[in-house]
Structure 1
Amino acid sequence: MGARARLIVVMGVSGSGKSTIGSALGVALNVPFLDGDHYHAPEAVEKMRHGTPLTDDDRWPWFDRLAIAMKEAADQRGQSVTACSALKRSYRDYLTQAAGEPIVFLHLAGKKEIIARRQADRPGHYMPATLLDSQFEALETPAADENVITVSVADTVEAIVAEALAALAVEAKP
């Protein structure tokens, strides 16, 4: 990967473990973790809570808010890790453009059955399991020319983070 990435986005469908892995990666790197879910507009959260998928018009302002927060966190601490679905290439490209610098995307990939089980074990999350099919339909698997690391969600949190750290060519900080 060369130079140390300032902005890392943990991406994938709902229930893939973005928040769990992103938080653990942030701890391992001793840098801020931002959960993209916290940057959604209240109206967008209500749409999802009621089982309505977001439109691109719902997402663009979210990406703008997220890009600003990611950069500010990285400016303060040298690096940041963010959880964000970033399902389509156009979303990843937009987020990178809004950030104004390269982003390394850590794609958490897995079979729908595994992710559906994990989603069912998340009581109280606003994203209902009924939207999982729409998430997989929207997912554009990152292409070889994108700045992406793909890891399987089938392993433990510790193993996924270790694989991500190795791919990022960095070591965990105390």
Structure 2
Amino acid sequence: MSTAPSQPRFEPARIIIVMGVSSSGKSTVGAALGRALHAPFLDGDRYHPEANVEKMRNGIALTDEDRWPWLEALTAALKEAAQKKGVAVGACSALKKAYRDFITEKAGEAVLFVYLDGSRDVIAERMARRNHEYMPTSLLDSQFATLEKPDPTTENVLNVPVTDSPEKIVRTVTGALDHLKTFKRWQ
């Protein structure tokens, strides 16, 4: 009999959001997870109002007031996609617990957050290698300052290390989605 603690079980959800700081791999993992589940994938970056994009492009961190309309628009789109297809996958930083609570409240149902957990050094290295349309490396510190790591004992979250390959992360997530296996979407 094993005495190792097991990962807490999460509440089954039709809406799955891959979350984490910029350059953690949200879009890459989210798109791969959507393909594996044969589910629509919605990238949260596409739901930012132009004013948010301009602020970030100019190296100005977003405030809570900037984020609420963005989170509401993304959540509405994810809810609609899940209603049509039975499941939907999104990518969204969801850095604060209040944001995750807001998303869940607006969805009106359980949302599973897949947290891509990585150190500042690993993320900084990734960020330096990529060219993002509007997220400069100067905003990395503000991302980590805003981040409230989700707690799997109190939140509906599955924590995975960003150092795993996207394929391994997708296998970890799909392996944990017992409630969706009846659809045999990825088998």
TM-score by length of 1: 0.95
Amino acid at match of 1:23: A
Measured in 2, the distance between the counterparts of 1:172 and 1:158 equals 16
Shift of 1:172: 5.1
**1:56 equivalenced with 2:57 (yes/no):** no
Query: What SS is found at the alignment partner of 2:175?
Result: helix
Query: What SS is found at the alignment partner of 2:89?
Result: strand
**1:113 equivalenced with 2:149 (yes/no):** no
Please name the residue that 1:123 is paired with: 131
Cα 1:78–1:92 shift into 2, 3 Å: same
Query: What SS is found at the alignment partner of 1:94?
Result: helix
**1:153 equivalenced with 2:166 (yes/no):** no
**1:103 equivalenced with 2:111 (yes/no):** yes
Query: What SS is found at the alignment partner of 1:38?
Result: helix
**1:42 equivalenced with 2:50 (yes/no):** yes
Measured in 2, the distance between the counterparts of 1:22 and 1:152 equals 14
Please name the residue that 1:84 is paired with: 92
Q: CA RMSD in A?
A: 1.5
**1:167 equivalenced with 2:176 (yes/no):** yes
Larger Rg: 2
User: 1:34 touches 1:81 (CA, 8 Å); kept in 2?
Assistant: yes
User: 1:165 touches 1:172 (CA, 8 Å); kept in 2?
Assistant: no
Q: Percent identity?
A: 53
In structure 2, the gaps of 5 or more residues are 1-8
In structure 1, the gaps of 5 or more residues are none
The number of aligned residues is: 174
Moved more, 9-18 or 114-123: 114-123
Measured in 1, the distance between the counterparts of 2:156 and 2:10 equals 12
TM-score by length of 2: 0.88
**1:27 equivalenced with 2:40 (yes/no):** no
